[in-house]
C-alpha cells in the first residue's frame, strides 16, 4: 500500500523506519506521571524542554501495547490530507477477462458515484468505464483507508479477489492521477494513440455526473480540465490526424485476416449500431465494403446510418434474427452493451461453415465480451477482441510519437494550472477560520469597551465604535488574505500560498486541515449508522 500523502500534489513514500518510529512512539498526551500528577508535553516523550532527566521520585506509567497501537494509528490518521486517487484496471494493466467483470454501463455511473461516496472515507467520485478501461477517480479523506474501501468495493461488485485486483491495479495519487486522466483525454493512454472517441467518453462522465451528490468541486473540476486538455492537444498537435479508433483498428484487423485483404467476397454482419457499431459501419464503408447486415434492437439508429451512407447497402435485421444472419456471414463484428454473451459455444457450433469452407471470423470489441471465450477453441471460428488489436495499432504508432511528446508539454502546462487551482481550494478553510478568529477578538474587545463606557452610550456612538473596530479588522486582515489567495489577481505562487496558509495555521493554532478532516469523517460515520 502506498504511503501517506505528504503534499497536495503527489504522495510521498514513507520509509519503513519512519513508519516504525511513528508506530511505536505514543503521543505526549498519553504519558502520565502517577506520583507527581503531571504529563510531559515535549517533543521527546521522556524529557522536558529544560531537563535531561526525570526527578528520581517520579514513576512512569507506560501505556500497554494495545494503547500504543491505537494512539499510533490515530497520530498517523490525523496527519493525512484528503487526496485525489485514480484506481482501476485498463488495457495496459489487466486482460479483457478481468476488465469485463468490472465494466459498468453508462446508465449506472450516477448510482456508482453515490455508492462510492457512501463509503466512510470517500468524499467525491467519478467513473470512467470504456472498452479499454474501468477507472474510478475519488477524493479520499484518508488515502490508505480510501484505497482500501474502493478496492473492497471493486472486489465485491466484480467477484475478483483483492490480491488479483492489486496485482493488476492502476493506483495513482494527486498530480499523478490528474496527469493520467489528462493523458487519457488527450488519447495518449489509449490502445490507439490519438484516439478521438475517448474524449467524448470523458465528456460523458461530466454529463452523467451533473447533479449527482458526490460529483463535486474537485472531481468535476478535474474532469472539466481534462476535457480542455483533450481539445487543446488535438487542436495544437494534430495527434488525431491519420490516427485510428478502436473501431477502425477492428476493421483493419478483419481485413488483414481475409483472403486478398478484401471485404468484396465476404458476407459482413455488424451486431449493434451504437457509437462503436456506427464507427465500425463507417470504416467498413471506407474500406470498400458495399453491403452489410446490421442487427440491432431498434431500426431507428440503422435508418439514420442508411441516410448518411447512401452508397452502401445496409440491411436492418432485428436482434431475434441474429443467428440466422450469422449463419450467412463470414465476418461478424460485435459491439453491444449486452452483459452476457450473444454468441456462445453452443449456438456457434450449430452454425454452418463460412463461405469457401473458411473459419468464421468474429471481431468482438465489446466489454463485457459478446462472444463467449470458449468460441475461440472451435475449429470453425476465429475470435479476436480488443486486446488483439495491438498488431494493427503498432504500425500506426511510430508516426505519432513526436506529436505525443508535444502533447505532453501541453499536459504539463495544464497540470500546473489544475494543481494551482486545487491548492487554492485548500486555503479557503484557513481564510474562513482566520477571519472568524479575528472577528471573535473584535467583538469581544468592542463589548469590553462598551461596558466600560456605561449606559449613556448613544446609538450613533455605538455605530461609530463598531465601524472603527470593523475598519481596523479589515485593514489587519487585508495583507494576510492577499497572501492566502492563488489566482490571476496576484503574483503569489502556489508554494508561497500554501506556506502562508501553514504559517497562519501555526501562529493562530487554527488546525484547519485536521479539524476539517475529523469533522467530515465523523459526519460520514454518523450518517452511516442511521
Q: List residues with catalytic annotation.
A: 131
State the Cα angle at 104 between 168 and 326, rounded to 5°: 100
Residues 6+ apart with CB under 8 A from 444: none
CA distance 138 to 132: 20
362 to 220, 331, 351, 406: CA distances (angstroms): 39, 6, 13, 37
Q: What is the dihedral of CA 196, 171, 391, 193, to 10 degrees?
A: 30
Rama region for 193: left / alpha / beta (φ>0; ψ in -120 to 50; rest): beta
C-alpha cell at 441: 477578538
Characterize the bridge pairing of strands 32-33 and 60-61.
antiparallel
**CB-CB neighbours of 463 under 10 Å:** 10
Query: SS3 string of 415-456?
Result: HHHHHHHHHHHHHHHHHHHHHHHHHHHHHHHHHHHHHHHCCC
**CB-CB neighbours of 16 under 10 Å:** 9
Amino acid at each position: 500500500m502506498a504511503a501517506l500523502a505528504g503534499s497536495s500534489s503527489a504522495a510521498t513514500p514513507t520509509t519503513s523506519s519512519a513508519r516504525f518510529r511513528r508506530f511505536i512512539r505514543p503521543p505526549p498526551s498519553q504519558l502520565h506521571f502517577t506520583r507527581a500528577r503531571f504529563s510531559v508535553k515535549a517533543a521527546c516523550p521522556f524529557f522536558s524542554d529544560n531537563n535531561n532527566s526525570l526527578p528520581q521520585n517520579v514513576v512512569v506509567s507506560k501505556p500497554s501495547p494495545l494503547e500504543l497501537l491505537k494512539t499510533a494509528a490515530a497520530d498517523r490518521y490525523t496527519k493525512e490530507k484528503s487526496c485525489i486517487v485514480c484506481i482501476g484496471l485498463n488495457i495496459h494493466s489487466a486482460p479483457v477477462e478481468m476488465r469485463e467483470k468490472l465494466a459498468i454501463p453508462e446508465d449506472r455511473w450516477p448510482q456508482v458515484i453515490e455508492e462510492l461516496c457512501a463509503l466512510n472515507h470517500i468524499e467525491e467520485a467519478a467513473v470512467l468505464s470504456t472498452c479499454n478501461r474501468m477507472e474510478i477517480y475519488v477524493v479520499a479523506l484518508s488515502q490508505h483507508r480510501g484505497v482500501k474501501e474502493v478496492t473492497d468495493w471493486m472486489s465485491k461488485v466484480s467477484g475478483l479477489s483483492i490480491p488479483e485486483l492489486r496485482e493488476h491495479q492502476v493506483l495513482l495519487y494527486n498530480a499523478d492521477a490528474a496527469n493520467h486522466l489528462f493523458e487519457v483525454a488527450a488519447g495518449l493512454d489509449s490502445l490507439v494513440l490519438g484516439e478521438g472517441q475517448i474524449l467524448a467518453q470523458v465528456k460523458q462522465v461530466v454529463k452523467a455526473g451533473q447533479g449527482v451528490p458526490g460529483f463535486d468541486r474537485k472531481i468535476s473540476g478535474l474532469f472539466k480540465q481534462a476535457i480542455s486538455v483533450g481539445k487543446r492537444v488535438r487542436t495544437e498537435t494534430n495527434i488525431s490526424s491519420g490516427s485510428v479508433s478502436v473501431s477502425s483498428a477492428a476493421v483493419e484487423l478483419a481485413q488483414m485476416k481475409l483472403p486478398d485483404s478484401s471485404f468484396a467476397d465476404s458476407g459482413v454482419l455488424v451486431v449493434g449500431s451504437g457509437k462503436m457499431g456506427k464507427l465500425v459501419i463507417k470504416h467498413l464503408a471506407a474500406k470498400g465494403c458495399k453491403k452489410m447486415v446490421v442487427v440491432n434492437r431498434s431500426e431507428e439508429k440503422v435508418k439514420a446510418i442508411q441516410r448518411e451512407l447512401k452508397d452502401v447497402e445496409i440491411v436492418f435485421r432485428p436482434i431475434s434474427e441474429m443467428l440466422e444472419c450469422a449463419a450467412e456471414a463470414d465476418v461478424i463484428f460485435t459491439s453491444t452493451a449486452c452483459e452476457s454473451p450473444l454468441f456462445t459455444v453452443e449456438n456457434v457450433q450449430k452454425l454452418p461453415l463460412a463461405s469457401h469452407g473458411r473459419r468464421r471470423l468474429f471481431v468482438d470489441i465489446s466489454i463485457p465480451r459478446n462472444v463467449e471465450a470458449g468460441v475461440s477453441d472451435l475449429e470453425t471460428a476465429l475470435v479476436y477482441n480488443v486486446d488483439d488489436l495491438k498488431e494493427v495499432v503498432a504500425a500506426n504508432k511510430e508516426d505519432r510519437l513526436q506529436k505525443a511528446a508535444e502533447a505532453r508539454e501541453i499536459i504539463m502546462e495544464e497540470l500546473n494550472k489544475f494543481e494551482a487551482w486545487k491548492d487554492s481550494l485548500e486555503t479557503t478553510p484557513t481564510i474562513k477560520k482566520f477571519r472568524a478568529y479575528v472577528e471573535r477578538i473584535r467583538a469581544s474587545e468592542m463589548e469590553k469597551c462598551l461596558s466600560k463606557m456605561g449606559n449613556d452610550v448613544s446609538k450613533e456612538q455605538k455605530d461609530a465604535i463598531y465601524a472603527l473596530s470593523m475598519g481596523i479588522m479589515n485593514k489587519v486582515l487585508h495583507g494576510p488574505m492577499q497572501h492566502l489567495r492563488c489566482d490571476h489577481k496576484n503574483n503569489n505562487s502556489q508554494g508561497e500560498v500554501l506556506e502562508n496558509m501553514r504559517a497562519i495555521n501555526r501562529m493562530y493554532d487554527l488546525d484547519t486541515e485536521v479539524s476539517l478532516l475529523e469533522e467530515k469523517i465523523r459526519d460520514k460515520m454518523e450518517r452511516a449508522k442511521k
